[in-house]
């Protein structure tokens, strides 16, 4: 099971939210309840998207306090913006035992890229993050969970070794394409229990069908 956090707690530096982003921005208490629920669950992976300042200021100390690690998918083109991670923040994550991957350059829909934007999202972003972390960056989180067969082909050509989506539900540990479930702003204990429980046959079938449509569709 892969869980995704976007932003946590008060927004720093006057950072304004994109449309719909408030639905996945959680308060500190709810975030800690999720961490406590998965602290003894080796079958749960924790990931973070967007490169918000709260990754270092709020999430990192709470992960370390529980002996947890996570993978942080950073928007390379937005480093240093108000409320976002800085290059030093990315290095702090790595120095603390966390993993850093790419969320692209500017939070664009990867199904709608121009040729120039493809280079920024899948080449330049990786290069910038690799230089900051001192190691190759080969894993990505797909912005908005928006992908199709053309996007997947581009990712493979870019030598991406693992791609995370927002499809929800569990994933095989070794799968190249990894489904994730995003934390919600209104999550409660019932939501946590439901998300961490094995899905029933009907839900598994619906999710598998939805993923098949995404993997095979064109524009």
Q: How far apart are CA 188 and CA 191, in angstroms?
A: 5
pTM of the model: 0.93
Task: Give CA–CA dist 87/131, Å, rounded.
Answer: 10
Radius of gyration (C-alpha) of the chain in whole angstroms? 17
Region 101-128 average pLDDT: 97
What is the band of 54 on the pLDDT scale with cuts at 50, 70, 90? very high
**Cβ contacts of 98 within 8 Å, gap of 6 or more:** 60, 63, 69, 70, 71, 72
Domains of the chain: 2-216 (3.20.20.370)
**Residue 103, phi then psi, degrees to nearest 5:** -110, 15
Quick one: average pLDDT of 196-201?
Answer: 84
Q: Which pLDDT value is given to residue 193?
A: 96
Spell out a b/e string for 118-145, using b for 16 or more CB atoms within 10 Å of the CB, else e.
Answer: bebbbebbbebbbebbeeebebbbbbeb
Tokens linked to 90: 């990315």
Tokens 């067969």 sit at which residue?
A: 149
The pLDDT confidence band at residue 200, using thresholds 50, 70 and 90, is confident
| Per-residue pLDDT at 219 | 62
> DSSP of 148-176, one letter per residue?
-HHHHHHHHHTT-SEEE-S--S---TT-S
Helices (runs of H) and strands (runs of E) counted in the chain? 9, 10
Give CA–CA dist 213/149, Å, rounded. 9
Q: Kindly state the tokens that stand for 188.
A: 């409660």
Q: For residue 48, give the H/E element and its range.
A: strand 45-49
- Average pLDDT for 37-56: 96
Cα of first residue to Cα of last residue in the chain, in angstroms, is 29
- The larger pLDDT score, comparing residue 117 to residue 210, is at 117
Which pLDDT band holds residue 75 (cuts at 50, 70, 90)?
very high
> Which residues are registered as beta bridge partners of 47?
4, 71
pLDDT (average), residues 73-102: 97
């Amino acid at each position: 099971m892969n869980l995704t956090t976007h932003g946590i707690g008060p927004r720093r530096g006057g950072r304004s939210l994109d449309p719909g982003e408030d639905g996945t921005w959680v308060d500190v208490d709810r975030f800690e309840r999720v961490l406590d629920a998965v602290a003894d669950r080796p079958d749960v992976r924790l990931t973070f998207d967007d490169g918000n300042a709260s990754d270092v200021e709020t999430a990192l100390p709470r992960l370390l306090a529980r002996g947890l690690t996570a993978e942080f998918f950073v928007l390379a083109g937005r480093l240093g913006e108000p409320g976002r991670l800085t290059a030093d923040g990315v290095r702090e994550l790595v120095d603390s035992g966390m993993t850093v991957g790419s969320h692209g350059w500017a939070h664009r829909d990867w199904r709608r890229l121009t040729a120039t934007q493809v280079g920024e999202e899948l080449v330049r972003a990786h290069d910038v993050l690799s230089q900051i972390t001192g190691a190759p960056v080969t894993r990505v989180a797909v912005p908005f969970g928006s992908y199709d067969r053309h996007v997947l082909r581009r990712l493979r050509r870019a030598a991406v070794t693992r791609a995370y989506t927002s499809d929800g539900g569990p994933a095989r540990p070794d799968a190249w394409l990894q489904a994730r479930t995003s934390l919600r702003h209104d999550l409660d204990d019932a939501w946590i229990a439901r998300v961490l429980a094995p899905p029933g046959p009907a839900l598994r079938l619906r999710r598998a069908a939805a993923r098949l449509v995404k993997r095979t569709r064109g524009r």
